[in-house]
Amino acid sequence: MGTLSRLTPHLKDSLAAGLLAGLLALPMLGFRLVDSAQGLSLDYRFTWVAIAAATVFTGRLILLQAGDAIRRRPSQRSASTQPQAGRPNKLRPILGWLFIAGALVLPWAPLADRNLLDKATLLLIYVMLGWGLNVVVGLAGLLDLGYVAFYAVGAYSYALLSQNFGLSFWICLPLAGLFSASFGMLLGFPVLRLRGDYLAIVTLGFGEIVRVVLLNWQVVTGGPNGVSGIQRPSFFGLPFLATAPGKTTFHEFFGLPFSPDHRIVFLYYLILVLALVTNLFTLRIRRLPIGRAWEALREDETACRSLGIDPTKTKLSAFAIGAMFAGFAGSFFATRQGFISPESFSFLESAIILAIVVLGGLGSQIGIVLSAFLLVGLPEWFRDLQQYRMLAFGGAMVLIMLWRPRGLLSNREPTIRLASAPSRVAQTAEDSV
Amino acid sequence: MASDSLPLLAVEHLTMRFGGLFAVNDLSFTAYQKEITAIIGPNGAGKTTVFNCLTGFYKPSVGRLSLTPPDDGAPHLLERMDGFRIAKVAKVARTFQNIRLFTGMSVLENLMVAQHNKLMRASVYSVAGLLGLRRFRNQERQSLEIAKYWLDKIDLSDQADWSAGNLPYGSQRRLEIARAMCTEPVLLCLDEPAAGLNPRESLQLNDLLLDIRRDQNIGILLIEHDMSVVMNISDHIIVLDHGAMIADGTPVAIRSDPTVIRAYLGAADDEDLPPEVTGDLRPAATSGVR
């Protein structure tokens, strides 16, 4: 009885929607001009109109019913999204170790080919960028829409340093991080007083400024032509080449037959290590006073000041550290591609990285891996579907925000626990997902 | 107030102007070590403005706020310091009228964040912390002990790992006081700590504040409307009205001060007041609580 009475308004609503769709479809789908030998003639397609109306009617009905089903649950859900107490989440670290183990053996897996490793490398770049941005957005709560600028600074630092001064990748990597971190500070200073929307706009502007400078400073950056012929990485001095005059190559040194896959595997492991270092660093610094101060600043800046925390230093350090990791990722990007141009550092990249962090659940490291896979990995694999993948991309984002408005994995694990504290409220199964 | 304690905070000619409005007008008073000084007055009298000037959220238009640390160092001139440095260097801690906890963080984390500066120094730009050096680990253990002491004091040890936003209102109030105490202040400014508490919780608060006065070598400055708190625990009461001080004295003296009663009740003549009102400020005060 209850279902029926709820169904009636839904039915009415759906009927109205179907009728409206029919009316709209009538001129658009119902008539068709046919250009034939006898001139123009009108063709009637009322079945099309009927199909459109019926689709909208059933679709609307299903949506309404599904909406009810979802709405009936939030009472339990909202209570459980904030763990009151609790036992440390055991499942999360296990999931993390599984990811790492899987990533380590991936190049040796039977299905792994060059293509797969290339895609996995790309995915890991985004994971690393997501983890880096997570420091700024997830921990310190500073909405940064220009993160790709630091990525660009890192990439160009490596490209230009190695081209003009012949420095090797391993020397350039820390330098690129340092440059990006300085740019982070540079951006940080003027925006210290801004919060939320205003901060987002200024960082957006900063990202564009960097891109426009790269595009127009022809003498140094090569403008729209970019920098090409960037030195490829070597295995600590051993190049990945078939032959190298005057040098021992990687395959000669290890007595292997030459294969171009060596470089692919090396690049894959390189970004894996870089990403894991980023992760380890973030996890550790979260438990240090500076990390707690970032999170406190995100929660309440006024209270922070009343406790003697310097908001300037705290914000700048978050900007600098987030930017540093983007710089590392940028120089890796440059050495992997061998060619960079301002096109690679458009606003869309910033938006994707931010989407990865937000969809993953602000502050959640594994959530970022999952959402990077959803937002970057899946569209790469489904390239064959062409435009539809962007449709699916948008749809997936809407769905995630409907189902998990706080991100895929949104539960925050406290940075310190009182060992003696008994767990009062058992965590629900949902929390441990 | 013939006080045998040493002066801690001297406020001289404090004036805070917002455009043409004098929120605080030429206010001078002294707060003493190991004493609870209450600031009372009708709504809009400028009490919270005084706190905001003291803790650096406002820059006073005129006046000197000098804090003499108990270890007899040079006095800090609060009116010249940045907001966060007042808490860091001069060691003035405060709570807020509308509670400002880090609600997403756990209770214990709230107390650890309050010990930020000490821990930061031990972590040496986070390097010692990242490497997990003993110097940092010892400091962290020590800070944890302080946090545990206060958790025990405010009776929240069992909820230490809860997120602070999930605590009941009264516990949040106590946690905010504990968090302020974790900064190891010399002056604690409490902005309406009893607002929204039930009578039993108010009594607990009285005990907590009296404990702090007894055990810690600090002065407490208290804004409060709840007269059961003010009259029972204050050593010394300052009454503000329209930004100016209208009375200054012991609870007993303030209770029968005609100017104070007039400010609260707006009576034309003191003789018109019924005896139950002149005897106790409570009825007037409760109307002031939100």
* pLDDT tens digits along B71-113: 777 888 888 888 888 888 889 999 999 999 999 899 999 999 9
Smallest Cα–Cα separation from B65: which of B5, B13, B7?
Answer: B13
- Scanning the structure block, which residue is given the tokens 């792994």? A112
Task: Tell me, yes or no, if B137 comes closer than 8 A to chain A by beta carbon.
Answer: no
Chain A residues touching B78 at Cβ < 8 A = none
Residue bearing tokens 């770049």: A125
Residues in chain A whose beta carbon is closer than 8 A to a beta carbon of chain B? Answer: 82-86, 281, 284-285, 288-290, 292-293, 295-296, 298-300, 302-311, 412, 414-418, 420-424
pLDDT (0 to 100) of residue B269: 54
Beta carbons of A308 and B88 less than 8 Å apart:
yes
> What average pLDDT values come out for chain A (433 residues) when binned by 10 residues?
69 90 87 82 86 90 81 50 53 82 84 85 94 92 92 94 88 93 89 82 92 92 87 80 76 80 88 94 91 93 92 92 95 92 91 89 85 84 72 78 78 76 37 35
CB contact under 8 A, B105 and A300: no
Is B163 near chain A, with CB under 8 Å?
yes
Strand bridging mode B236-241 / B244-249:
antiparallel
What are the two backbone dihedrals, phi and then psi, of residue A398, each rounded to the nearest 5 degrees?
Answer: -65, -45
CA–CA min distance A246, chain B (Å): 41
The token duo for B207 is 């005990």
| CA distance to partner chain B, nearest, from residue A160 (Å) | 30
Write the ipTM. 0.85
Decide if A303 and B96 are in contact by the 8 Å CB cutoff.
yes
Q: How far is A19 from A348, CA to CA, in rounded Å?
A: 39
With CB atoms and an 8 Å threshold, state whether B161 touches A311.
no
Concatenating the DSSP letter of every residue in A271-299 gives: HHHHHHHHHHHHHHHHTSHHHHHHHHHHH
Positive or negative torsion for Cα A253, A259, A263, A265: negative
Backbone angles phi, psi at A44, to 5 degrees: -100, 135
Nearest to A285 among B103, B126, B161 (CB): B126
Report the residue of chain B nearest A411, measured CA to CA. Answer: B104
Give the closest-approach CA distance of B167 to chain A in angstroms.
9
Distance from CA of B146 to the nearest CA of A (A): 12
| % of chain B exceeding 70 in pLDDT | 90
- Of the candidates B116, B129, B144, the beta carbon closest to that of A307 is on B116
Tokens 């990748």 sit at which residue?
A169
- Residue B149: pLDDT band (50, 70, 90) is very high
Separation of alpha carbons B82 and B87, rounded Å: 9
Q: Which tokens is A185 given? A: 């500070």
8 Å CB contact of A308 and B113:
no
CA distance A65 to A71: 10
- Among B109, B131, B181, B189, most A C-beta atoms within 10 A, so best to mutate, is B109
pTM (predicted TM-score):
0.80
Say if residues A249 and A99 touch (Cβ distance below 8 Å): no
What integer pLDDT is reported at residue A155 of this predicted model?
A: 95
Give CA separation, A346 vs A89, A148, A326, in Å.
38, 7, 14
E strand segments, B129-279: 187-191, 219-223, 236-241, 244-249
In this predicted model, which residue has the larger pLDDT, A73 or B48? Answer: B48
Longest alpha-carbon distance in chain B: 73
Contact A281 B130 (CB under 8 A): yes
Say which range, A188-202, B9-23, B133-147, has the weakest mean pLDDT.
A188-202
Report long-range pairs for B55-59 (Cβ below 8 Å, ≥24 apart). Answer: B55/A306, B55/B83, B55/B86, B55/B87, B55/B92, B55/B94, B55/B189, B56/A305, B56/B81, B56/B82, B56/B83, B56/B84, B56/B85, B56/B86, B56/B87, B57/A302, B57/A305, B57/B83, B58/B16
Structure tokens that stand for B256 in this block: 């029968």
Q: What is the pLDDT of residue A89?
A: 66
- The amino acid that residue A430 corresponds to is E
Residue in B287, B290, B53, B80 with CA at minimum distance from that of residue B192:
B290
* pLDDT(B277) > 80: no
Interface test with A, best of B82, B88, B105 (most A CBs within 10 A): B105
- For residues A205 and A102, give the distance between their C-alpha atoms in angstroms, rounded to a whole number: 39
Q: Compute the distance between CA of residue A368 and CA of residue A378 in angstroms, rounded to an integer.
A: 14
Residue with tokens 């208290």: B222
CA of B194 to nearest chain A CA: how many angstroms apart? 19
Chain A residues whose CB is inside 8 A of the B168 CB are: none
Assigned token pair, A142:
């500073």
Per-residue confidence (pLDDT) for residue A88, from 0 to 100:
61
Q: A85 to chain B: which residues are within 8 Å by CB? A: 159, 161-162
Rounded CA-CA distance B229/B224 in Å is 8
Closest residue, chain A, to B163 (C-alpha): A84
Nearest to B166 among A84, A306, A418 (CB): A84
Residue with tokens 């003035």: B92
B168: contact with A, CB 8 A cutoff: no
The residues facing B79 across adjacent strands are none
Which CA distances in Å does A282 have to A294, A318, A372, B4, B130? 12, 11, 17, 52, 10
Q: Which residues of B touch A324 (CB under 8 A)?
A: none
Q: 3-class DSSP state for residue B112?
A: helix
Q: Which of B107, B78, B114 is nearest to B165 (CA)?
A: B107
